[in-house]
Amino acid sequence: MSRIEKAFASGKAFIPFITCGDPDLMTTAACVREMVKNGASLIELGIPFSDPTAEGVVIQNANLRALGGGTTTDKVFDLVRDLRRDVKVPLVFMTYANVVFGYGAEKFISTCAAIGIDGLILPDLPFEEKDEFLPICRAHGVDLISMIAPTSENRIAMIAREAEGFLYVVSSLGVTGTRSKIVTDLAPIIKVVRENTDIPCAIGFGISTPEQAKDMSRLADGVIIGSAIIKLLERHGRAAPKFIGEYTRAITDAIA
């Protein structure tokens, strides 16, 4: 059983997202360890990029702060090497195709495997173009994780059948960001997913409160939260790990 499979094997999974290097990599490492200590099942690590098209203003600004502070892909790789000394939960990179292309796909993905990255999410990679990366990911044992959105419609079954690791179900149209209410009827989407794959699915985009997380966990196998965590980083800076740990505990208690 892979680390990702184990993350979903013992109940509902909480998957927090954090932009690496915001405000610095030492703070990122402390936040990850606090999230794990407080029950996070799997961590999404964002490699900062100058044009993060799937992100709302909160995570866009986190990317800019991280890049302005000198965060590079190689430094993020070093961060993961440090984390893997004691962090056992799955670690997944979320970044953009240009980051991988620019680094060299073979070099990037083989390094992911060597340092203990379990999966890769590329939100700007169309499903039809995933073969640019999929053979390399499979050769190195890194899951290329697919996303399903409300606009996927008649493609949902096809994407689900070919999914690896877990399926990232986008809750709302538009970019990332906290929302006061998630109005998309996700039940039909999850139903089609369940009919076509045994791969677990997690819902992300817009979730910020324990109540929202609990509601979404009734539908899916896990919940993904990013912007609410980045807001805590923006507010507390280097003191954020404590607050992010407390927030993680509130979410994991809500979906237990």
Each domain of the chain, given as residue ranges in start order, spans: 13-145+207-255
> Tell me, what's the pLDDT at 179?
42
Q: Are 255 and 225 in contact (CB under 8 A)?
A: no
Residue (of 49, 59, 51) closest to 17 by Cα position: 59
Q: Any alpha helices (H) in the chain, and if so which ranges? A: 3-9, 25-37, 57-68, 73-83, 97-103, 105-115, 134-140, 156-161, 187-196, 210-219, 227-236, 240-255
Query: Is residue 146 packed enough to be buried (19+ CB in 10 Å), middle (13-18) or exposed (0-12)?
Result: buried
CATH level 2 (architecture), domain 13-145+207-255: Alpha-Beta Barrel (3.20)
Read off the pLDDT band of 176 (50, 70, 90): very low
Read off the pLDDT band of 181 (50, 70, 90): low
Average pLDDT, the chain: 93
Stated pTM of the model? 0.93
Structure tokens at 176: 């990332």
199-214 confidence digits (pLDDT tens): 999 999 889 999 999 9
Read off the pLDDT band of 54 (50, 70, 90): low
> Tell me, what's the pLDDT at 177?
42
> Tell me, what's the pLDDT at 171?
82
